[in-house]
A and B are shown apart, each in its own frame.
Chain A
């Protein structure tokens, strides 16, 4: 089910980055390559609390149609939808300063012959969210409850969860809008035909001509509705879908921080146990074995002390990264929404301009009726 998808987005990297070999270059990648990139990145980067952008969803139905080679508009739409989603995905990856430095990302962008990614089954859209939710469940089942000195994390997490809910609701509504607009499209086309028929049977010449013209205007309106529906879908609905997935990724990095905390706590309790064992040994009072055993225990205890220190440092560092990442995410989100909304409004503006042209052409025909 891998199909050659040419994501036509030549990566034009600025002169300041010497790491790429040339300024503009392009490569051919499969859909599974994108999923493979995500898998590599999430394994590495999410441990640091990084928000790794999730890839678009797999769709069995859509892919089957395309494979069969159907040339119908819905499979054309599907391919275009996938292309646009992959483009947004990769653009989000390269706009993240840490991810851009990642060798896997550079390899993905530059290398002509990429080894095939395996094990990408788990990464369908549903699979991705299941993964996140499973991690959340694990965190929830933790017996030791975290005592937050700083409520920022708790509050932010709640905010993120609420927002995800809201966007899901909104996405469902936008889906409904897209469907109604498609319906409107069909009904307008049918209406246009019936007006043409009416014009044909009208025996006043000028009125008959005007009615035929009206039928043409309605036909053009259908075209406009079609484009509006596409705009709704590609710009609005897809934006919401992206952010629902991204918010999932944000939740994921909060969970990573909890895991880090958990590791630290577990290490601390293990250290405690080791120290208790050491103390017990001191009280056992068996001089022959004492010296050797004491050395062993001390080694183990020291190792665990080091681990505890390391894990505490990791936890603090993840906390800082998560904070930074979330703030960056919110800025990017506002920027993203703004630019998409501007695009949407510009599309609307264009269709209003065309509407004006159609009706301005029709008006004299209507006035000429006598």
Chain B
């Protein structure tokens, strides 16, 4: 697959010192192999340009290593790319293969083309999602220096990161449960800092609404796809209607075929446009806003730890026992909290800037695409009507 178009949802500064992209990808039976291509002038790397092959699990390993790193607690960790999922598409292709005997050669070829195009679209999207993740990391002033990231980019052997086993998955699950229970507790505490208080309120509501909009846009797109599928089926059934001569517009079969062809051109394209722009954008910002919420949560945790350390210090002083220990602990917590607060503020401001830019880019592109297709459809319809009306 040649270098896919960068359907990037984020507006990123591409920096000459470190450029990362996915130059190639291969879809095998149950996995996808991404070719990660790096161009860098940084001294950390042995060469200026190099490539390695990575699989989805290795991206997840990298993402999780950021999340687990205490030093990065004050940053929005770029959300992990979703797992490549070709199951539905593969199943459809298989069903088609099984039903080959029951349809005409034209029907079969046409449907196969449609399904292959669908598979290709999903493939391109998963490549884009993985690429965006890497680009976000490369654009981040601190994360780009991460050692694991450099190993990920450069080490040309398998990173041997197996997927999480059952026990680890269970641990993750409980960690998340505790977090959300905590989240509820922590969210209740009003923040002294106005900026963070506003951000907390804003993000909680925003995240929920993006989630809702994302779900509803998916539903809408599915209906559109069903309608387009129906038209496809109508077109297929018309292949067997009447004689083979489809050009004689005095025959009603040719008229029906013409009509269906037009409907199909118009429907299928629109469904694809909406999918690409709006739904992807919403899905991406669902994950980003979650990552921002996670940052706020970490800050709140640090605040709670700081407050607890203060209380412990007061107690120690009162009892005059382990005061030095309590003082050290309190200083550490204070330092941690302040460090997180400082970087978090900048991260959240950057998040807003990125979000506004991404929405702008996508909404403009969506409007332009809709206009382009509507104008094309208009022309098509006008010329068809001209022929039909003139052909009395």
Task: Enumerate chain A interface residues (CB-CB to B < 8 A).
Answer: 163, 166, 169-170, 173-174, 176-177, 180-181, 183-184, 187-188, 190-191, 194-195, 197-198, 200-204, 206-207, 210-211, 214, 333-334, 336-338, 341-342, 344-346, 348-349, 352-353, 355-356, 359-360, 362-363, 366-367, 369-370
Contacts and interface: CB of A to CB of B under 8 A. Distances in A.
Interface string B180-217: 00000000000000000000001001100110110011
Given A170-B241, A173-B233, A341-B388, 13 more contacts: A173-B237, A188-B220, A191-B220, A197-B212, A198-B206, A201-B206, A334-B252, A337-B255, A345-B259, A345-B388, A348-B263, A366-B364, A369-B363
B382 A349 contact: yes
B8 interface: no
Interface string B313-335: 00000000000000000000000
A134 to B, nearest CB: 28
20 contacts: A166-B241, A177-B231, A183-B226, A190-B216, A198-B212, A203-B352, A214-B363, A334-B251, A334-B252, A341-B259, A342-B385, A345-B384, A348-B262, A348-B377, A349-B381, A359-B367, A359-B374, A366-B366, A370-B356, A370-B360
A176 B371 contact: no
Contacts of B259: 341, 344-345
A170 B238 contact: yes
Contacts of B231: 177
Interface string B210-234: 1011001101101110110011011
Contacts of A184: 220, 223-224, 226-227
Given A173-B230, A352-B378, A180 B210 contact: no
A366 B227 contact: no
Given A169-B237, A337-B255, A352 B377 contact: yes
A180 B251 CA distance: 29
A342 B249 CA distance: 12
Contacts of A183: 223, 226
Contacts of B375: 356
A367 B367 CA distance: 10
A203 B364 CA distance: 19
B234 A369 contact: no
Contact of A338 (B216, B237, B252, B382): B252
Contact of A180 (B223, B256, B266): B223
Contacts of B224: 184
B356 A191 contact: no
Please name the 6 residue pairs, one residue from A and one from B, whose CB atoms are nearest each other, closest first.
A184-B223, A369-B360, A366-B363, A337-B252, A177-B230, A187-B220
Interface in B345-392: 352, 355-356, 359-360, 363-364, 366-368, 370-371, 374-375, 377-378, 381-382, 384-385, 388-389
Nearest to A330: B252
A197 B216 CA distance: 12
A252 to B, nearest CB: 21
Interface string B29-51: 00000000000000000000000
A12 B202 CA distance: 67
A369 B359 contact: yes
Do most interface residues of chain A lie in helix, strand or loop, or is the interface mixed? helix
B109 interface: no
B240 interface: yes
Contacts of B202: 201, 203
Contacts of A187: 216, 219-220, 222-223
Contact of A195 (B213, B249, B262): B213
A194 B213 contact: yes
Given A169-B237, A191-B213, A345 B385 contact: yes
Contacts of A348: 262-263, 266, 377, 381
B350 to A, nearest CB: 14
Nearest to B366: A366
B250 interface: yes
A88 to B, nearest CB: 16
A180 B212 CA distance: 22
A359 B368 CA distance: 8
B367 A362 contact: yes
A313 B384 CA distance: 48
Contacts of B352: 203-204
B255 A191 contact: no
Contacts of B252: 333-334, 336-338
A202 B259 CA distance: 43
Contact of B356 (A180, A197, A204, A360): A204
Contacts of A342: 385, 388-389
B367 A197 contact: no
A278 B241 CA distance: 57
A360 B233 CA distance: 33
B255 A197 contact: no
A166 B255 CA distance: 15
Contacts of B360: 207, 210, 366-367, 369-370
Contacts of B256: 170, 337, 341
Contacts of B226: 180, 183-184
A348 B206 CA distance: 37
Contacts of B206: 198, 201-202
A170 B213 contact: no
B355 to A, nearest CB: 8
A191 B216 CA distance: 5
Interface string B159-178: 00000000000000000000
B364 to A, nearest CB: 5
Contacts of A188: 220
A352 B258 CA distance: 18
A139 B252 CA distance: 30
B55 to A, nearest CB: 35
Contact of A341 (B213, B237, B251, B255): B255
A333 B356 CA distance: 56
A210 B361 CA distance: 12
B50 to A, nearest CB: 38
B321 to A, nearest CB: 49
A349 B367 contact: no
B333 to A, nearest CB: 31
B345 to A, nearest CB: 15
